[in-house]
Structure 1
Amino acid sequence: MDLFSLSWAALLAAVADLPDEGFERPSGCAGWLVRDLVCHLVIDAQDVLITLATPAETEPTVDATTYWRLVEPPTGADPLDALVPRLAAAYGEPRWLKFHLDDVGSAAGRAARLADPAVRVGTRDEVLTVADYLSAYVLEWTLHHLDLIAHRPSAAEPPAETLAAARASLEKITGTPFPASFPDTDALRTGTGRRTPTDTELAALGDLATKLPFVLG
């Protein structure tokens, strides 16, 4: 739960530091501008608030690892994928999008800190503990932090602790360790298809290269 707070706080700070012109740049999410990604984070923060307010009585069906599923790469046919850019554009000035994320994002962060880690909650037709739910989102926040700064080389990266935790989560989900020669950022970006491996990296990946990218849903 501490890693959730750390990764989320770092991501919110990274958005707050964005200059207005940065919202019109491409993000690390294929087909999305930075403003689209930030709008997606607003929706994610709302989901956190909804889930933490949705207690469940039945036994857990997933944990922090099995919460994520490997899915086919997006085709653009998902209605939500098409909706997000329209919502983002409707904000107009970046300051309104920043304000909304800071507002709902701060609330999500507070709700996470106050939540009982042992309580079971329901989301996506699954049940899991609060601790597992928040742990699962460390991977989400870390990947989207990398997406946010994909074309801003001078921007601060996610905290080292959350990068390591996100990499460990990805390796658990896929059942595949990445070569030790890969820094955490490279393992996450190449592993999820956010960056094409170099020839040297392909050689180090070996047979693993044929399984990439791992797309989570």
Structure 2
Amino acid sequence: MDLFSLSWSALRTAVDGLADRDFERPSGCAGWLVRDLVCHLVIDAQDVLITLATPAGTRPTRDAVTYWEVVEPPTGTDPLDALTVRLAAAYQDPALLRFHLDDVGSAAGRAAALADPDAWVGTRGQVLTVRDYLGAYVLEWTLHHLDLAAGVPEAAGPPAEALARSREMLKRIAAIPFPPALSDTDALLIGTGRRPPTAEERARLGDLAGRLPFPVG
């Protein structure tokens, strides 16, 4: 739960430091500008608030790792993705989008800090403990922080602790180990298909290279 707060705070701080022109840059998410990514983070924060306010009466069915599944690589044509793009464009002034993320995002952070870690909550048709639900979101925040950094390289990146935890989670989700020679950042970017491996990295990956990527959702 501490990593949830650390990674979420770092991501919101990075967004708060963006210049208005940065919102028009392409992000690391296929088909999305940085403004679209930030709008998605607003929706994510709302999901956190909704889930923490949705108690479940049955035992957990997923944990922080099994919450995620390997899905088809994103193309940017999903209807929800398209809705996010239209919603982001409606803000027009980046200051409004920045303010909305700070407002809703801060509330999500406070709700997470106040929640009972052992309580059961429902989301996406599954039940998790609050601890596992917030733990799952460490991967979400970290990957989207990398998406932000792909569009705005001068922005501060994710915390090292969040990168290491996310790499371990992806390893367990995909049931594969990444070569130790790959940094946590590179393992996450290559592993989720956010960039292709270089020739040198492909050699290090060996047979694993043919199984990539492992986009999660």
Query: Per the shorter chain, which TM-score range?
Result: over 0.9
Q: Which amino acid aligns with 1:68?
A: W
Question: Unaligned regions of 5+ residues in structure 2, if any?
Answer: none
- The answer on whether the counterparts of 2:55 and 2:121 sit within 8 Å (CA) in structure 1 is yes
Between the aligned partners of 2:95 and 2:88, the Cα distance in structure 1 is: 12
SS of equivalent residue, structure 2 residue 67: coil
Aligned to 1:7: 7
1:125 correspondence with 2:125: yes
- The answer to whether the aligner puts 1:157 opposite 2:157 as a matched pair is yes
Which residue of 2 is the match for residue 97 of structure 1? 97
Q: How does 1:1-217 map to 2 (within 5 A)?
A: 1-217=1-217
* CA-CA distance at 1:73 after TM superposition: 1.5
Whichever residue aligns with residue 8 of structure 2, its letter is W
Task: Give the partner amino acid of 1:105.
Answer: G
- Count of residues in correspondence between the two structures: 217
1:215: Cα distance to partner? 1.1
TM-score by length of structure 2 reads 0.98
Write the deviation string for residues 44-101 of structure 1: whole angstroms up to 9, x where unpaired: 0000000000000101111111000111123444210110000000001100000000
TM-score by length of 1: 0.98
Change in Cα spacing, 1:75 to 1:30, as seen in structure 2 (3 Å) is: closer
Identity level (%): 72
Instruction: Report the more deviating stretch, 72-81 or 82-91.
Output: 72-81
Structure 1 outlier segments of 4+, above 4 Å:
none
Tell me the SS of whatever aligns to 2:128: strand
- 5+ residue gaps in structure 1? none
Deviations 1:96-136 (Å, cap 9, x if unpaired)?
00000000000000000000000000000000100000000
Cα root mean square deviation, aligned: 0.8
Distance in 2 (CA, whole Å) between partners of 1:86 and 1:65 is 31
Distance 1:149 1:10 in 2: 12
